[in-house]
Amino acid sequence: MATSSKPSEMRSFLVIWSGQLVSTIGSGLTSFALGVWIYQETRSTTLFAISLLAYALPNLLVAPFAGALVDRWDRRKAMIFSDSGAGLCTLIIAALLITGRLELWNIYLLIAASAAFSTFQWPAYSAATSLLVPKEQLGRAGGMVQIGEAVSQLIAPAVAGVLMVTVGLQGVLLVDFVTFMFAVFTLLLVAIPPPPASQAAAAEKSSLLQEATFGWRYITARAGLFGLLMVFAASNFFSSFLSPLIAPLILEMTTPDVLGYMWSVVGVGMLLGTLVMSVWGGPKRRIHGVLGFLMFAGVFTALLGLTPYLAVMAVAGFGAMFMHPIINGSSQAIWQSKVAFDIQGRVFAIRRMIAWSTMPIAYILAGPLADRVFKPLLAEGGPLADTVIGQVIGVGSSRGIGLFFVIIGVLTILVPLIGYMNTHVRNLEDELPDAAAQVVPGLGSESDANLVIEHVLNTAD
């Protein structure tokens, strides 16, 4: 096989990546600003939690059909459709706000619509990356993709806060709309090669409904991929308890401005992790990057709840978020290299749907478990206050949530250990053929198949 580089395809990936990077930051601004607006208008954490569900549920309901359509459509057009639709939803929210007609139900409905459009974006983006980046560089590409999320987490709260004071929520929404349009513009500048036909797709000629369930059948027929997906579903369930509880945990001990500083420290951890993953590409044995670093993340999560000292908690949050880009980048590289290119839309959509399916459950349970179970355990005079646990973790209003975090950390460590005990998960990189080996002779262009393997990142040695 030829080893010549294809710099034009790598340039296409970088152009797409730059547009999605800007768009992700814009979406982070809107997410933070809308959350502030909802809480200021309602003073209700429950109503704020509903906005999280409004975003999560469409991802679960629409994902199978979005994935099937992504495989039917040109991947570039699917991403344009996604960014344009989500941008339009943002513009409608801004218009309703400017005209004085914005109500809470409008926001929930438009968040859900935006999430439905965004459901197309991730499988299309992932599948396009598989076609533009060679297998050995997919870990680095995964790290680069996560840079947008890290930068958004680092700067979006501060920038959105300034914009809310200076130009208001409508200004934030309009900035976000411009970032969506920039992403669309970058997509118009590039071409994405069509995927070569695979044996799996050649055998699957059916209706949209059947194609929507194809991803599930494909994954469950491959024990290693299914086991890896279950690892992520379980770890997402545990980590999703943290999202609604981390701010209350810290605010029980300090002021909102200190919380903001700690958020920045945590954001730096994630940004540094993405930069390391972008340069390093992860371990050669990628399953070790997933399971090994997930165990480290569990250790840092437990440390986050173990002590009431803010400096230690900041270090723990930094460490936990540093691990996630390596975990996600290694996992993404496995899926992109092992799933046939022309079915990645369907498979990746089902993959995200299952991995995220546990998150709404955690969102719903987090508050009641914290308030009714764990806080009373370590309150003054509580059942565990005078035990060894109380002596180690401490006693007070925040220490019950701290105990909850320690338990979540321990469970997060156990999940990859159980995954590693599964031989199919541990050996999936050996058991499953690479995607390029699944091309159907005579159906997929040999030159197109070679494109996927021959590209060399400009940063490669």
Residue boundaries of the structural domains of the chain = 7-454
Cβ atoms 351, 215 nearer than 8 A: yes
Q: Give pLDDT, residue 45.
A: 58
Q: Give CA–CA dist 277/448, Å, rounded.
A: 28
Q: Give pLDDT, residue 135.
A: 74
Cβ atoms 16, 190 nearer than 8 A: yes
Q: Give pLDDT, residue 260.
A: 64
Q: Give CA–CA dist 314/246, Å, rounded.
A: 12
Question: Over the stretch 300-310, which tens digit does the pLDDT of each residue have?
Answer: 999 999 988 88
Rg (CA), the chain: 22
Q: Give pLDDT, residue 3.
A: 33
pLDDT in single tens digits along all 461 residues of the chain: 333 335 567 788 889 998 988 988 888 888 878 877 876 777 665 676 677 778 878 877 888 888 888 888 888 899 999 999 999 999 999 999 898 888 888 889 999 999 899 888 888 888 888 888 877 777 777 778 777 777 777 777 777 777 877 888 888 899 999 999 999 999 999 888 887 766 555 545 566 667 778 888 899 999 999 999 999 999 999 998 887 788 777 777 777 667 667 777 887 888 888 888 888 888 889 999 999 999 999 999 999 999 888 889 999 999 999 999 899 989 988 998 898 887 888 888 888 889 888 888 887 888 788 888 898 999 888 899 999 998 989 898 788 889 999 999 999 999 999 999 999 999 999 999 887 555 544 433 333 323 222 232 233 34
What one-character DSSP code corresponds to residue 136? G
User: Taking Cα atoms as reference points, which of 338, 437, 407 lies closest to residue 138?
Assistant: 338
Structure tokens at 151: 């930068």
Question: Over the stretch 10-53, which tens digit does the pLDDT of each residue have?
Answer: 788 889 998 988 988 888 888 878 877 876 777 665 676 677 77
**CATH (residue range 7-454):** 1.20.1250.20
Q: Give pLDDT, residue 102.
A: 84
User: Taking Cα atoms as reference points, which of 331, 4, 456, 10 lies closest to residue 193?
Assistant: 10
Structure tokens at 414: 């156990």
Look at the chain and count its residues: 461
Identify the three-state secondary structure at position 189: coil
Q: Give pLDDT, residue 100.
A: 87
Q: Give pLDDT, residue 227.
A: 96
Identify the three-state secondary structure at position 16: helix
Q: Give CA–CA dist 382/352, Å, rounded.
A: 40
Q: Give CA–CA dist 23/127, Å, rounded.
A: 19
Cβ atoms 106, 96 nearer than 8 A: yes
Identify the three-state secondary structure at position 439: strand
CA 93 to chain centre: 24
Structure tokens at 300: 């840092």
Cβ atoms 274, 150 nearer than 8 A: yes
Q: Give pLDDT, residue 192.
A: 85
| Cβ-based burial of 194 (10 A; exposed 0-12, middle 13-18, buried ≥19) | middle
Number of H helices, E strands in the chain: 21, 0
Cβ atoms 68, 208 nearer than 8 A: yes
Identify the three-state secondary structure at position 243: helix
Q: Give CA–CA dist 70/23, Å, rounded.
A: 20
Q: Give CA–CA dist 18/272, Å, rounded.
A: 18
Neighbours of 260 (CB within 10 A): 12
Beta bridge partners of 198: 439
